[in-house]
Amino acid sequence: MPSVRITFLGTGAGESLHRAHTAITLDAPDGTRVLLDASSGNSVMRNATLAGMEPKDFCQLLLSHDHADHMSGLPLIQTMHTRASDGGDPIQVHCSSKALENLKLLFQATSPGMTLDHEGLRNSSGRQVVRWTPIDDGQQIGLGPNTSATRFPVDHIDQAMGWRVECGGVSIVFSGDTKFSPSLVDAAKGARLLIHEAYGTETSRELAEQRGHSPAADAGRAAALAGVEELILTHITNAYHIDPQPLVDEARQYFDGPVSVAYDLYQVTVD
Ligand SMILES: [Zn+2]
Ligand SMILES: [Zn+2]
């Protein structure tokens, strides 16, 4: 039975004090590594190193949206990937057209000497170091011999998206940041695993929704309606960094399957 190893490199919400910002790797049976979101600062490479991963092996990035806590770590990932894979392939970035415009601004501001074109980013010696592709809703993209991903819309900011990743017959769905979203429920139908954000509990629903997020109850509801096998909560606010049990308890009121809360360097294998 093929299995996918999932490593949570960052599991904190935007204002996180004790955890890195969002980044998750999926290691598929065909050898493809997919990075879901790029966190901020040096968090991806710092935690990837602790998990025994090499910078050269970060080749495919799926971005959910263009908030800083999901995207701003990319320039350092690119730098380390390029140095480690001398002469190797560029990082391939798949995102919305709006996120791509902001990604270009990010590289322009932080990476002097690089040149941008419609295909991606080139370093001072003309080598392509990032290749970017704007993806439409519902579009399926190939990431490896037996690994693909499909974008679906979620309710967070303009052009925010979640991803359904198929890894050799194992389906993993990532919500990105979102309020309760019927399009996510549709996209997650029958998935092996739903990784869903949880911005606190019902007690902070109003604040969560104002900021475009879901309380744990809505993550549980989405998991139940989609009929997924397992739910992992992430994008955790400070109040639940030490004791996330209230998030699990609330999601379990709606969803019968296994529920856990990710933490930085949490690893799980699904098949
Ligand atoms: Zn976020
Ligand atoms: Zn966001």
pLDDT digits (tens, 9 = 90+) for 123-140: 988 999 999 999 988 889
- Which CATH number goes with the domain that contains 18? 3.60.15.10
Mean pLDDT of 244-261: 98
30 CA → ligand 2 middle, Å: 31
The amino acid at residue 143 is L
199 CA → ligand 1 middle, Å: 10
86 CA → ligand 1 middle, Å: 32
pTM above 0.95, yes or no: yes
Kindly state the percentage of the chain with pLDDT values over 70. Answer: 100
Which residue is it, tokens 């971005």? 63
| 1 pLDDT above the threshold of 80 | no
Report the chain's mean pLDDT, rounded to a whole number.
96
- Element of type H or E holding 121: strand 120-122
Per-residue pLDDT tens digits for 10-69: 999 999 999 999 999 999 999 999 999 999 999 999 999 999 999 999 999 999 999 999
Taking every pair of C-alpha atoms in the chain, what is the biggest distance, in angstroms?
A: 57
Q: For 127-138, b where at least 16 C-beta lie within 10 A, e where not — what string?
A: eebbebebbeee
255 CA → ligand 2 middle, Å: 25
Domain containing 245: what range?
Answer: 4-270
Ligand at minimal distance from the CA of 13 is 1
The amino acid at residue 252 is R
Mean pLDDT of 219-248: 97
Q: What is the pLDDT of residue 264?
A: 98
- Rg of the chain, C-alpha, whole Å: 17
Count the domains in the chain.
Answer: 1
Closest by Cα among 88, 171, 99, 86 to 133: 99
